Amino acid sequence: MAFVDYYKILGVDKSATKNDIKKAYRKLARKYHPDLNPNDKEAELQFKRINEANEVLSNDDNRKKYDKYGENWQHGEAYEEAQKQQQHQSQQQYQRSSGSQEFEGSDYSDFFESMFGGGFDYRDGGTKFRGQDFNAQLQLDLRDVYTTEKRVLTVNGKNIRLTIPAGITNGQIIKVKGKGGEGRNGGPHGDLLIEFIITNNTEFKRDGANLYKTVNIDLYKSILGGDITVTTFDGKVKLNIKPLTQNGTRVKLKGKGFPKYKKEGQFGDLYITYNIELPKTLSDKEKELFKELAKLQ
């Protein structure tokens, strides 16, 4: 258990007045409040620290106790324990063992809990708040999200069954209601927000439900035309290349793209761009024939 310097946390001197403490607390609270810093764990931790500091320093009795024992708070704790044992049972209601606390002890440092117990009286029976939302990331391959999948995720030791609809996009967030943190003072659970990170190691580029692919064709096929076989996301298709197909020509294969999110049976399109490959070497005969062709132009 490390000593916690509450004055340092609030950025005030030991001689700070109640008003100075209140001002410093409010300024920091506005900076680190979790509602203003969504998904920022560091801000959340800092907010808990400044709350704890404020709860000690803004209360005369607790500030006195904190100032009295300061760095030597461990001796103070022993002293307090000895005193507590002699006191009436009703005075022990704020200790952790009483089970009367209605908020999570984890909101407070070990130092705080050892000195002041689980928390302060004013919180008991206080405002009921919904638990915090939990954020999680799930990394999947593009091929994994081509079909709707059921998965079991373990979040904070709990198994959560999740249906991942086909066509989910990179960065999309799915909300699982009631699977977040426990509510404060008996409030409802928060939600679990799962962000999907979709990695694409395929030959396809994706934009929403449309897929894009570049296909190389040789010079002769681009001039004379012919059939080629192209691999789509779910199989192979035969394509007819028209004679005199230009480099960069794009064709659309309707419905051969990616599934549309939550639109069962609907697919985007696959766009094929032709890249015409010129020969890198020519035989003498070929050179001669090209020269002949050139003369005809």
Partner 1 sequence: MQNKHLIPLPSLCTHYKIEMSFFNGLKDYGLIEVVSVEKTHCIHQDKMADIEKMIRLHQELRLNFEGIDTVLNLLEKIDYLKAELTSAQNKLQRFTND
30 binds partner 1 (CB under 8 A): yes
The nearest distance, CB 2 to partner 1, in angstroms, is 26
Is residue 168 within 8 A of residue 145, CB to CB? The reply is: yes
Q: At what angle do helices 60-69 and 73-86 cross, to 10 degrees?
A: 120
Phi and psi angles of residue 285, each rounded to the nearest 5 degrees, phi first: -60, -45
206 binds partner 1 (CB under 8 A): yes
Is residue 247 within 8 A of residue 275, CB to CB? The reply is: yes
- The pattern of x and - marking residues 177 through 196 that bind partner 1 according to CB under 8 A reads --------------x-----
Q: Could you say which of 44, 212, 218, 260 contacts partner 1 (CB under 8 A)? A: 212
The stretch near partner 1 (CB under 8 A) out of 9-17, 127-135, 253-261, 288-296 is 127-135
Q: Which residues of 62-99 are buried (b: 16+ CB within 10 A; e: fewer)?
A: bbebbeebeeebeebeeebeeeeeeeeeeeeebbeeee
Judged by CB, which is closer to partner 1: 26, or 262?
26
Is residue 175 within 8 A of residue 168, CB to CB? The reply is: no
Site size toward partner 1 (CB under 8 A) is 22
Q: Could you say which of 36, 224, 282, 293 contacts partner 1 (CB under 8 A)? A: 36
CB atoms within 10 A of CB 162: 17
Q: Could you say which of 48, 130, 221, 260 contacts partner 1 (CB under 8 A)? A: 130
The nearest distance, CB 206 to partner 1, in angstroms, is 7
Q: Could you say which of 16, 29, 153, 162 contacts partner 1 (CB under 8 A)? A: 29
Judged by CB, which is closer to partner 1: 199, or 266?
199
Binders of partner 1 in range 59-78 (CB under 8 A): none
Nearest CA among 221, 236, 230 for reference residue 251? 230
123 binds partner 1 (CB under 8 A): no
Q: Which residues of 139-150 are buried (b: 16+ CB within 10 A; e: fewer)?
A: ebebebbbeeee
250 binds partner 1 (CB under 8 A): no
Judged by CB, which is closer to partner 1: 26, or 242?
26
134 binds partner 1 (CB under 8 A): no
Judged by CB, which is closer to partner 1: 187, or 255?
187
- Strands 250-253 and 235-241 come out as unpaired
Six token digits for residue 139: 């990394």
Residues contributing to the site for partner 1 (CB under 8 A) = 26, 29-30, 33, 35-36, 38, 126-130, 169-171, 191, 200, 205-208, 212
